[in-house]
Amino acid sequence: MFSAALRRTTASLSTSSSNIATKSICSRFFATGPQQGGEISDELLDKLGNLSTQALVDGLWVMGWPNAQIDGSRALHSSHKCVGRAVTLQFVPARPDIAQDKPAGGESPEYEAFEKCGPNEVLVMASVGKWDSVGGDIKFLRLKQRNIGGLVTDGSVRDTDEIINYGFPCFSYSTTARQGPAYMQPWKCNDIVSVGGVAVRPGDAIVGDQDGVVCVPAKVAEKVYSIAHGREEIEEIIKEELTKNPGPPGKYYPFMSGKIKVDSPLGKLLASKGITPENSNQFEGSADW
């Protein structure tokens, strides 16, 4: 009788523990949150690509968002400029059991990421180290075939001349001759990654030019464009005025978006060009963020 009671008690505790474990796993799963933060249309993507990275950084800064520039990721060639939605790939440090568990061959996470890329996508590869290679000519031949919008990494690339000849924009920390697999392995496609100290979500807009690479969060991309586009218009007016009437820029510049006073020298200059609080969010009291 005692043994039967003990078995019933043990079974009850086992079931209870199993339910708790299941609830715990479900809680952790739901606590992860969505990978993607929003959708960016092709039209908005084109408009963001026509702006400078400086204007985009300034737009996010004005809104109070954290640093958006992917530090250390520089154009492999002076002609390289990119814009596209982020497809992300996370590398992890090399470890034998991880290498065994990772899908092999064509099912490996980097090839999954490659196939998600096209002209409107930028592959964002989160490296383990700055000098570790995320890939070279043979792997990246597929990116050429996919007509990818660009590649961005905080690691290095190798077979540099061949990659430049492939023609797609490439931004990396540096170039290297050494292999990557000895130091790291691709592990996960299209999750939130940290690249150059910046969080990148799949679907975010990635814009790169000769000054660097900027991640524009999809959730606020429309508003960032509005602020950044307005700033670029004003900067062009300031440069035009200083070209016609040479003098210290301090009369008009720098300025803070959403803080320009109507009766300031810059405010009066803008009014003469038809830019007022009624049609611009750059003035004091007209900020809409």
Give tens-digit pLDDT for 182-211. Answer: 889 999 999 999 999 999 999 999 999 999
pTM of the model: 0.87
Spatial CA neighbour of 84 closest among 222, 174, 215: 215
* pLDDT band per the 50, 70, 90 thresholds, residue 21: very low
CA 120 to the chain's CA centroid: 14
Q: Is a pLDDT exceeding 70 seen at residue 58?
A: yes
Q: Are strands 212-216 and 193-195 parallel, antiparallel or unpaired?
A: unpaired
Cα-flanking dihedrals φ and ψ of residue 276, to 5°?
A: -135, 175
Burial class (CB in 10 A: 0-12, 13-18, 19+), 36: middle
Q: What is the rounded average pLDDT of the residues 149-170?
A: 97
* pLDDT band per the 50, 70, 90 thresholds, residue 33: confident
What would the pLDDT profile of 223-242 be if each residue is shown by its tens digit?
A: 999 999 999 999 999 999 99
Q: What is the mean pLDDT of the chain?
A: 90
Q: Give the separation between CA 28 and CA 251, rounded to whole angstroms.
A: 55
Q: Which residues is 170 bridged to in the sheet?
A: 151
Contact 36, 193 (CB under 8 A): no
Ranges of H-type helices in 150-253: 160-166, 221-244
Q: What is the rounded average pLDDT of the residues 31-41?
A: 87
Structure tokens at 266: 């810059």
